């Protein structure tokens, strides 16, 4: 019987969960998605070593992203924690939206890269064709020499 009472007390303590309160400076889900998207881009650039100049690395920081959205770091942390702790899978949905946006951006950049590579390839082929054409076309002096030889 004591075990049963103890078990009931334990279960009641475990089941008593503090209600999750919205942060004082609440960030809407769409805005939070945008902030986390920019943070994901920043983290990706940092991990790939995309910053070659010290000036670029000092301009693009997490603080600059937060300034862009007019959010202080404490507000961001509180809201990030809030979305993580929500039981409606909001954070998972935010992460999925970010993943889709990153995939779309990757496809867009790949298309632009392919177009640029194609332009360079065509330009190189055009330059080769001009070089071949110039080397096979006699200049005016050569023409005169050929004409004189024909006349003699």
Residue-wise pLDDT tens digits, 93-142 = 999 999 999 999 999 999 999 999 999 999 888 887 777 555 555 555 56
Give the residue with greater pLDDT, 57 vs 90.
90
Q: What was the pLDDT predicted at 69? A: 96
Alpha-carbon span 106 to 30, nearest angstrom: 21
Alpha-carbon span 91 to 106, nearest angstrom: 22
pLDDT band at 35 (very low <50, low <70, confident <90, very high): very high
Work out the average pLDDT over 43-56. 69
Classify burial at 23, counting beta carbons within 10 Å of its beta carbon; exposed 0-12, middle 13-18, buried 19 or more: middle
Work out the average pLDDT over 37-59. 74
Model confidence at 26: pLDDT above 90: yes
Model confidence at 49: pLDDT above 90: no
Alpha-carbon span 85 to 79, nearest angstrom: 10
Instruction: List Cβ neighbours of 86 (8 Å cut-off, separation of 6 or more).
Output: 20
Q: Which tens digits make up the pLDDT trace of 58-100?
A: 578 899 999 999 999 999 999 999 999 998 999 999 999 999 9
Q: What is the CA radius of gyration of the chain?
A: 33
Contact 76, 38 (CB under 8 A): no
pLDDT band at 27 (very low <50, low <70, confident <90, very high): very high
Alpha-carbon span 129 to 81, nearest angstrom: 62
What global pTM score does this model have? Answer: 0.66
Classify burial at 86, counting beta carbons within 10 Å of its beta carbon; exposed 0-12, middle 13-18, buried 19 or more: middle
């Amino acid at each position: 019987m004591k075990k049963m009472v103890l078990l009931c007390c334990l279960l009641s303590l475990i089941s008593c969960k503090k209600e999750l309160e919205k942060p004082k400076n609440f960030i809407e889900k769409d805005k939070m998605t945008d902030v986390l998207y920019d943070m994901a881009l920043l983290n990706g650039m940092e991990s790939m070593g995309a910053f070659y100049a010290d000036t670029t690395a000092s301009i693009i920081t997490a603080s600059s992203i937060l300034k862009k959205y007019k959010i202080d770091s404490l507000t961001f942390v509180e809201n990030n924690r809030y979305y993580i702790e929500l039981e409606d899978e909001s954070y998972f949905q935010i992460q999925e939206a970010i993943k889709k946006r990153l995939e779309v951006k990757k496809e867009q950049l790949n298309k632009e890269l392919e177009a640029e590579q194609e332009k360079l390839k065509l330009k190189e082929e055009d330059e080769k064709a001009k070089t071949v054409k110039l080397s096979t076309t006699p200049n005016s002096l050569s023409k005169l020499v050929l004409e004189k030889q024909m006349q003699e």
